[in-house]
Amino acid sequence: MTAIHRTPQPVSRLPQVGTTIFTTMSALALECQAVNLGQGFPDFDGDPRLMQAVKDAMDAGHNQYPPMAGVPALRQAIADKLLALYGRAYDPAHEITVTAGATQAILTAILALVHPGDEVIVLDPCYDSYEPNIVLAGATAVHVPLTAGSFRPDFDRIAAAITPRTRALIINSPHNPTGTVWSADEMQRLADLLRPTDILVLSDEVYEHMCFDGQVHQSVARHPELAARAVLVSSFGKTCHVTGWKVGYTAAPRALMDEFRKVHQFNVFTVNTPMQHGLAAYLADPTPYLELSAFYQAKRDLFRRGLADTALRPLPCEGTYFQVVDYSGLPDAIAALPEAQFCQWLTREAGVAAIPLSAFHADGRNQQLARLCFAKRDSTLHTALERLKRHLG
């Protein structure tokens, strides 16, 4: 009897999810030899002192499993940083966990704290991992748009979206993709809104050290009332220009962190050891992250000056390393393209890859907007700007 080799048909947990726009546009950029200003990663190396610290850790034999929650020295360094910057004293033993990047931290927090039938409010446009994470937890994402044009939180609409099933709200400041930075007044309004509820806050703060023009990052850790109900997420990959290391962290009150760690220990268990030891040593000097805002503001300013010679209109950028541009001023045939098609056209014809803002909206709306990343060497930015000027000037 001939054996039949049959693969059972899976029932997808994420039937609406395909290849991400970031993968698609990066592949197209490579195919077209375009300058990739789409995916958000630097094209320059991290600090040589950090690389040496990691090498020293390897040479010292720190190559086996660390504690599940993270190397104690790194958790202490994170606690020291949060206290110095934001005034919140987190217990490194019970309230801080090192994660395999911020994306894993967000998924773990949602799986730990959100249950089937719950609702989680997300503010559109938003990072594309939020809704799939919510779906995997058996919950429903409730999309509330940020204000049109300025991309600020609309508290009346947030309040209207709250129901007895609302379990959590995800906020992100500085904001990817729009570069908006929440103000202290907005954080206070959030605290006022949530005060009579048991709603949790998941605060995505991976761009915390990239606030421009004197803006101050309003971490939930600055606001005791919010910190008491929040899981804070940040990223060493973003802060230290080492996105490929995939090391981040969470901070939260012990009751929340205890639940977080129950899931963390079974989806990654722990995070690579030598990087943790290297980061712990590197954080002894706060200068690199304290100077990061000025470093990226200079790149933002360079990029925006160059965009002034094109028909692309840059929207305000208060933080992150992303610049949103409006292409409605281009010739009608180009301006009429939906955002995804425009970004493909820009990659193929101008040799510069971007990400459509529609990819960050649940409804895929088209507003003639695209996101460009300026976390690149100045020479890379100049090359991209020359191409944009040549084709869109």
Q: Which CATH number is correct for 48-285, 3.40.640.10, 3.90.550.10, 3.30.465.10, 3.20.20.70?
A: 3.40.640.10
Q: What is the DSSP string of 41-110?
A: --SS---HHHHHHHHHHHHTT--S---TT--HHHHHHHHHHHHHHH-----TTTSEEEESHHHHHHHHHH
Minimum mean pLDDT range among 17-26, 87-96, 105-114, 291-300: 17-26
Using CA atoms, how far residue 87 sits from 127, 216, 218, 255, in Å, is 28, 14, 12, 20
Q: What is the pLDDT of residue 297?
A: 98
Of the candidates 288, 223, 268, the residue with the CA atom closest to the CA atom of residue 97: 268
Domain ranges of the chain: 21-40+290-392, 48-285
pLDDT higher than 90, residue 18: no
Q: What is the mean pLDDT of the chain?
A: 96
What would the pLDDT profile of 215-273 be if each residue is shown by its tens digit?
999 999 999 999 999 999 999 999 999 999 999 999 999 999 999 999 999 999 999 99
Listing DSSP states for 189-226 in one string gives HHHHHHTTS--EEEEE-TTTT-B-TT-----GGG-HHH
Residue closest to 322 by CA, chosen among 211, 149, 176 = 176
DSSP state, residue 354? -
pLDDT at residue 1 tops 70: no
Predicted TM-score (pTM) of this structure: 0.96
Q: And the tokens for 198?
A: 């048991």
* Percent of all residues in the chain with a pLDDT value above 90, rounded to a whole number: 94
Query: What gap in Å lies between CA 22 and CA 322, rounded to an integer?
Result: 14
Give 29-43 as a DSSP string: HHHHT-EE-SS---S
* Cβ neighbours of residue 265 closer than 8 Å, sequence gap 6 or more: 68
Distance CA 230, CA 202 (A): 6
Given a cut of 90, is residue 115 above it in pLDDT? Answer: yes
CATH superfamily of the domain spanning 21-40+290-392: Aspartate Aminotransferase, domain 1 (3.90.1150.10)
- 129-181 tens-digit pLDDT: 999 999 999 999 999 999 998 999 999 999 999 999 999 999 999 999 999 99
pLDDT in tens, 345-386: 999 999 999 999 999 999 989 999 999 999 999 999 999 999
**Sequence letter at residue 299:** K
**C-alpha–C-alpha distance, residues 351 and 193, integer Å:** 46
* Side-chain half-sphere exposure of 284, counting CA atoms within 13 A: 9
21-40+290-392 with 48-285: one CATH topology? no
4 pLDDT tier (thresholds 50, 70, 90): confident
- Strand order in 200-204's β-sheet? 96-99, 248-251, 230-235, 200-204, 166-172, 119-124, 140-145
Tokens of 167: 């379990």
39 pLDDT more than 70: yes
Note the pLDDT tens digit of each residue in 314-337. Answer: 999 999 999 999 999 999 999 999
Whether 262 and 69 have beta carbons less than 8 Å apart is answered as: no
Residue 3 has pLDDT above 80, yes or no: no
